[in-house]
Chains A and B, each alone.
Chain A
Amino acid sequence: MSDATRGEICAVACADAFRGNDEILASCFGTAPAIGARLAKMTFEPDLLMTDGICTVVDMPNPVSGEGHEQVVEAWLPFRTVFDHLWNGNRHVIMAASQIDQFGNQNFACIGEHAKPKAQLLGMRGAPGNTISHTTSYWVANQTAKVFVPEVDVVSGVGHDRAAKLPTESTQGHDVRLVISNLAVYDFETPDKRMRLQSIHPGVTVDQVVENTGFELVIDGDVPETRIPTSDELALIREKIDPKGVLGREVPNPE
């Protein structure tokens, strides 16, 4: 029986999101994705490109907690070059979502009417350009029916139904791939690209997932469990990537 925490299962699911990405810029919002990308780079995707979070590509970014290390700079990537890079398509970003719908339309700009929002959040940031240009996945640290909604208030990140209405040449880079939450992993591997329950984290029930989803989820027969981290992966997370355990603050372990 593994002693992996829920957070560690999420972080490893984020790492798996980068599987097969090879030599590509990996960017993250949130602690679990940040741990996942580092873990992927330390193990099965050593050629991932990662930044220090400011403007340089480094050989191995600092741990998410604890002491930093001497980072070797590989390249300069100021903001203007980030846009060049991402419009070129060479990136997989895991973004946050304040709201996401069944086709993967995402909102972190504001809640309510855009002209006079109930809650102003981050703004569009780079979400429209990211989603139309390169692979995008989402991380939801606390899945509820208020986050997994029938309709997002504002579309920051473009989902599959909206992309399907655009000319195909405009969406050649569009690839909204996975949604990873504290409860489960979702993909869009359905005929009409609706969100599907891909795997469920150990200890979570399908009922719990459905209860915390505000739209009809595609559930194909018996849903497998999300992969349990290996002992080597757990050692890397606990000793090298997050020695102070800040992940537990983002994803509390269920009682």
Chain B
Amino acid sequence: MDKRTTEREAVAELRDGMTIGIGGWGSRRKPMSIVREILRSPVKDLTVVTYGGPDVGLLCNYGKVKKLIYGFVSLDSIPLEPHFRKARQAGAIEAAELDEGMLQWGLLAASHKLPFLPTRSGMGSSVLDINPDFKMVKSPYADGEELVAMPALDLDVAFIHMNRGDVRGNGQYLGPDPYFDDMYCRAAKKRFMTVEKVVDTAAMANEGPLQSRIINRTMVDGVIEAPNGAHFTECPSDYGRDEAFQKEYAATAKDPDAWEAFRAKYLDVETEADYQEAVKNR
């Protein structure tokens, strides 16, 4: 079994109007080589579900996002994502904003193929006004409590980035936090995993503890080797965040000329390899 594919083939699976999930958290272990490929593709009107970082800023900037389902969008070391802010302040996207725990709950419900999961989160806050289609559910037990029925966040396609993987689709993270990447995979019809390095299955045992191997091959349809693929977000223990590059990216939100130059140099290139080359030569 060999599930290896490319960013281009994976993104070719996308159709206008699809709902996609993007793993990672803020500016941490994001499948950025996939995001860059989406920017190069004609796909549009996506609904994006994510703990947002520069993936969201870039996709908004390129007009790929119709609706965003999120709890926050941040670059971590730069708390506010400036390109996302611009899109929001222009009213360019539909913003289905959630409590960040509700986002997890929606992914977990979808990954268990449940219609919803109950929670108290959101009650009394504006989350329920922003998402008027959310319903309450009454506990069938003696307590009779009314709870928010957080609907499942079913995904058409999920994209995640792992440190290691094998050709069959087993994946391993080597940083401190798995985030919610396993849930995105289980919540989606089609799942693509980029990895820093494709290794032999047996060799994964030497890379990290057993508990780091949270992705098994039933959760993945395509494996893409993408060295430095999470750049400029962090991907510990392989590399940290490229803070200088992130600053350069963030600064382009204030200056249309700087943005055009950034875009021409790094994004409107033919392939991911061209991007990596441009980053190396800067």
Identify which of B70, B120, B125 gathers the most chain A CB atoms within 10 Å of its CB: B125
Most buried by A among B25, B88, B104: B88
For residue A13, CB closer than 8 A to chain B, the reply is no
| CA distance in complex: A123, B74 (Å) | 9
What is the chain A residue whose CB lies nearest that of B86? A120
**Could you say which of A54, A110, A132 contacts B124, with CB atoms under 8 Å apart?**
A132
The complex places the Cα of A123 from the Cα of B81 at a distance, in Å, of 11
- The answer to whether B123 has its CB under 8 Å from any CB of chain A is yes
> Within 8 Å of chain A (Cβ to Cβ): is B277?
no
Query: B190 CB to closest chain A CB, in angstroms?
Result: 23
- Docked CA distance A171–B122 (Å): 12
> Which residue of A109, A114, A157, A158 is within 8 Å of B123 (Cβ)?
A158
Residue of B129, B130, B176, B177 with highest tally of chain A CB at under 10 A: B177
Residues B124 and A129 in contact, CB atoms below 8 Å apart? no
Contact A169 B180 (CB under 8 A): no
Contacts of A121 in B (CB 8 A): 80
Which listed segment binds B: A33-41, A78-86, A202-210, A234-242? A78-86
Partner of B176 from A55, A110, A169 at Cβ < 8 Å: A55
Q: Please judge, given known A-B contacts A79-B177, A115-B95, whether A124 and B127 are in contact too, CB under 8 Å.
A: yes
Compute how far the CA of A169 lies from the CA of B104 in the bound complex, rounded to whole angstroms: 23
**Is A128 within 8 A of B176, CB to CB?**
no
Nearest CB on B from A84, distance (A): 9
Number of interface residues of A (CB under 8 A): 45
Inter-chain contact B124/A166, CB cutoff 8 Å: yes
> Which label, helix, strand, loop or mixed, suits the secondary structure of the B interface?
loop
Interface string of A97-120 (1 = CB under 8 A from B): 000000000000110001111111
Contact A162 B176 (CB under 8 A): no
A227 within 8 A of B: no
Say yes or no: B104 contacts A80, CB within 8 Å. yes
Q: Which residues of chain A are near B98, meaning CB under 8 Å?
A: 124
Asked if B71 and A125 sit within 8 Å, CB to CB, the answer is yes
Determine the chain B residues whose CB is within 8 A of the CB of A126 once the complex forms: 71, 99-101
- Please give the distance in Å from A131's CB to the nearest CB on chain B: 8
A67 to chain B, nearest CB (A): 19
Contacts A56-B176, A114-B130, A132-B120 known; A124 to B125 CB distance under 8 Å?
yes
Q: What is the distance, in angstroms, from A128's C-beta to the closest C-beta of chain B? A: 4
Asked if B72 contacts A122 (CB within 8 A), the reply is: yes
B84 contacts A by Cβ under 8 Å: yes
Known: A125-B71, A126-B101, A129-B102. A80 touches B180 (CB 8 A): yes
Residue B260 CB within 8 A of the other chain: no
Assess the A170–B146 pair: CB atoms within 8 A: yes
Mark each residue of chain A from 159 to 183: 1 if its CB lies under 8 Å from any CB of chain B, else 0: 0001101110111010000000000
Which residues of chain B have C-beta atoms less than 8 A from A169's C-beta? Answer: 143, 145
B179 at the interface (CB under 8 A from A): yes
Q: Is B156 an interface residue (CB 8 A)?
A: no
Q: What residues of chain A lie closer than 8 Å to B177, measured between beta carbons? A: 54-55, 78-79
What would be 22 A-B contacts, judged by CB atoms less than 8 Å apart?
Answer: A56-B176, A79-B104, A80-B180, A109-B97, A118-B89, A120-B80, A121-B80, A122-B79, A123-B73, A124-B97, A124-B126, A127-B125, A128-B127, A129-B102, A131-B125, A132-B122, A133-B121, A155-B125, A155-B126, A156-B126, A158-B124, A166-B123
Interface residues, chain A, with chain B CB atoms under 8 Å away: 54-56, 76, 78-80, 83, 86-87, 109-110, 114-129, 131-133, 154-158, 162-163, 165-167, 169-171, 173
Q: A76-B176, A122-B72 are in contact. List 15 more A-B contacts (CB 8 A).
A: A78-B178, A79-B51, A79-B180, A80-B178, A109-B97, A116-B90, A124-B98, A125-B100, A126-B71, A127-B125, A132-B122, A133-B120, A158-B123, A162-B125, A167-B146
Q: Top 4 A-B pairs ranked by shortest CB distance?
A: A116-B91, A129-B121, A123-B72, A128-B125
User: What residues of chain B have their CB less than 8 Å away from a CB belonging to chain A?
Assistant: 25, 51, 70-74, 79-80, 84-85, 88-91, 95, 97-102, 104, 119-127, 129-130, 143, 145-147, 176-180
